[in-house]
């Protein structure tokens, strides 16, 4: 079988085809209708035919073609020839001037092409009208008006196009900047979520696991004391509840058990109850007495507080007890929660060995407390000295957390 070559695609008919061919056809009819002079008809049709031919051969290649300047010059000459045949054919400028603008590579060349068209048409006027005073005046006025209008419209359209392109570039830059900002927000959100999970893990599961390790050491030293083993089981169950609540809701409250769902635990627990369970468990694990100072009547802190405030205060209390377990060697710890019209306060004091806050290494515990409090515009105060215990003061503004 012989392979057949595909036919080249036919050029698509455009508005330029309709403009050039349509205007040329209408002017040809107008020429035949208005004059019977054979020389004028021949010269006018020659100019129109040259315009159509050069459009079909060169113009349809587009403004990017290397022959675009040749096409514009030939089109200008064709317009001059047509006008030389009959002055009314100067209407052909409505097509030739736009061609001079569209097929120019830059503004300077477009202005030059406009001058070429105007010169060619002016010569055509002088040939068809003569060089008398009246003819010269008509030629000058017509040429000046046509050239001036073309330059004004062309410059205005060019300026508008440049502004549009500039605005488009600015819009693209803005969209790119918005995408970058969105990416940064996503990264910041992911980093914030990682920090939040780190704080939650440190304040809940890590502390519970530390307690399990210490209880396991006690059990080993005591030879498997049933009470210690039971305490290990209870702590393990609570740690399991903490883990489930943290995974399910991200805001676990101490005291949930494995038998409860996170939703049930969140409904059942409040700050007062959570502090009671926290203190009781700490006493069982360490033997250190933990006393909780109750608020005065009418200053109840639990039900009336936003959930976020309860969680922040509870986490700070947990961290304070964890620090006391690790470093204080205390025999008694006091926890006091107070309420003012615009804030909740927490005070945790121990009678341990104390330390110098100015020289002590600030580990993850105090740093984590400060980070958590900074998220809610809260503050942390550490008052301690070697040999006289430690007092941690926490203040959480209720309005700031609610907002």
Task: Specify which residues 347 forms β-bridges with.
Answer: 336, 393
Greater pLDDT, 336 or 197:
336
The three-point CA angle 328-330-335 to 5° equals 95
Residue 77: the pLDDT is: 93
What's the rounded Cα separation, in Å, for the pair 235 and 388?
31
CA atoms of 210 and 215, how far apart (whole Å): 9
Q: Is residue 148 part of a domain?
A: no
Output the pLDDT for position 208.
66
State the pLDDT at residue 298: 52
Name the band, by pLDDT with cuts 50, 70 and 90, for residue 300.
very low
Residue recorded with tokens 């675009």: 68
- Judged against a pLDDT cut of 60, whether residue 31 lies above it is answered with yes
Q: Point out the domain boundary residue: 82, 103, 130.
A: 130
More reliable by pLDDT, 361 or 317: 317
For residue 200, what pLDDT is reported?
A: 64
CATH number reported for the structural domain that contains residue 299 in this entry? 3.30.565.10
- Whether pLDDT at 223 is above 60: yes
Percent of the chain clearing pLDDT 70 (strictly above): 73
pLDDT band at 26 (very low <50, low <70, confident <90, very high): very high
pLDDT of residue 317: 87
In a domain, 403, yes or no: yes
Q: Hey, CA dihedral for 306, 312, 318, 324, is it positive or negative? A: negative
> What pLDDT is stored for residue 384 in this prediction?
87
- Residue 177: inside a domain, yes or no? no
Comparison of pLDDT for 261 and 320, the residue scoring more = 320
Of 327, 322, 344, 328, nearest to 393 (Cα)?
344
Assess contact for 384 and 390: CB atoms under 8 A: yes
| Helix ranges (DSSP H) in 201-306 | 207-221, 226-249, 262-268, 271-286
| Residue 185 placed within a domain | no
Asked if residue 239 has pLDDT above 50, the reply is yes
| Domain end point (choices 114, 130, 146) | 130
Write down the mean pLDDT value for the chain.
79
Tell me which residue of 171, 107, 168, 117 sits closest to 143, measured CA to CA.
117
Average pLDDT over residues 119-127: 89
The label of the residue with tokens 């549009």 reads 164
Domain range for residue 125?
15-130
> CB-based contacts of 156: which residues, under 8 Å, 6+ apart?
none
244: confidence class by pLDDT, cuts 50, 70, 90: low
> What pLDDT, in 10s, does the model give residues 306-327?
777 888 888 888 888 888 888 8
Residue range 285-294: average pLDDT? 84
pLDDT at residue 269, as a whole number: 46
Q: Rounded to whole angstroms, how far apart are CA atoms 192 and 198?
A: 10
> Is 85 domain-assigned?
yes
Look at the chain and report how many structural domains it folds into: 2
Q: Is the pLDDT of residue 253 over 50?
A: no
Domain boundary among 79, 104, 130: 130
């Amino acid at each position: 079988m012989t392979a057949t070559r595909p036919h080249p695609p036919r050029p698509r008919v455009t508005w330029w085809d309709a403009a050039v061919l349509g205007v040329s056809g209408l002017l040809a009819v107008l020429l035949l209708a208005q004059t019977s002079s054979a020389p004028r008809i021949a010269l006018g049709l020659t100019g129109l035919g040259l315009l159509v031919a050069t459009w079909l051969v060169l113009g349809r290649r587009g403004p990017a073609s290397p022959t675009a300047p040749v096409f514009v010059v030939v089109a200008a000459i064709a317009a001059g020839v047509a006008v030389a045949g009959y002055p009314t054919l100067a209407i052909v400028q409505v097509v030739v001037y736009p061609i001079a603008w569209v097929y120019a590579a830059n503004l300077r060349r477009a202005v030059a092409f406009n001058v070429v068209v105007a010169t060619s048409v002016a010569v055509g006027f002088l040939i068809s009208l003569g060089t008398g005073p009246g003819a010269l005046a008509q030629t000058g006025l017509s040429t000046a008006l046509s050239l001036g209008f073309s330059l004004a419209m062309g410059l205005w359209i060019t300026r508008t196009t440049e502004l549009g392109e500039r605005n488009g570039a600015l819009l693209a830059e803005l969209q790119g900047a918005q995408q970058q900002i969105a990416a940064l927000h996503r990264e910041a959100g992911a980093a914030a979520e990682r920090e939040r999970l780190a704080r939650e893990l440190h304040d809940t599961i890590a502390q519970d696991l530390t307690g399990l390790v210490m209880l396991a050491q006690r059990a080993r030293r005591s030879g498997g004391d049933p009470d210690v083993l039971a305490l290990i089981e209870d702590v393990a169950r609570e740690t399991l509840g903490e883990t489930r609540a943290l995974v399910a809701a991200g805001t676990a409250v101490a005291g949930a058990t494995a038998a409860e769902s996170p939703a049930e635990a969140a409904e059942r627990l409040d700050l007062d109850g959570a502090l009671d369970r926290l203190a009781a468990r700490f006493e069982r694990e360490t033997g250190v007495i933990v006393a909780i100072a109750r608020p005065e009547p009418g200053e109840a802190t639990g039900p009336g507080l936003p959930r976020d405030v309860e969680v922040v205060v509870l986490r700070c209390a947990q961290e304070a007890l964890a620090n006391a377990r690790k470093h204080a060697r205390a025999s008694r710890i006091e926890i006091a929660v107070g309420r003012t019209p615009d804030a909740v306060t927490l005070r945790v004091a121990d009678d341990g060995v104390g330390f110098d806050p100015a020289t002590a290494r600030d580990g993850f515990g105090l740093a984590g407390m400060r980070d958590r409090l900074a998220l809610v515009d809260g503050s942390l105060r550490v008052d301690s000295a070697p040999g006289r215990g430690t007092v941690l003061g926490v203040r959480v503004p209720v309005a700031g957390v609610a907002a």
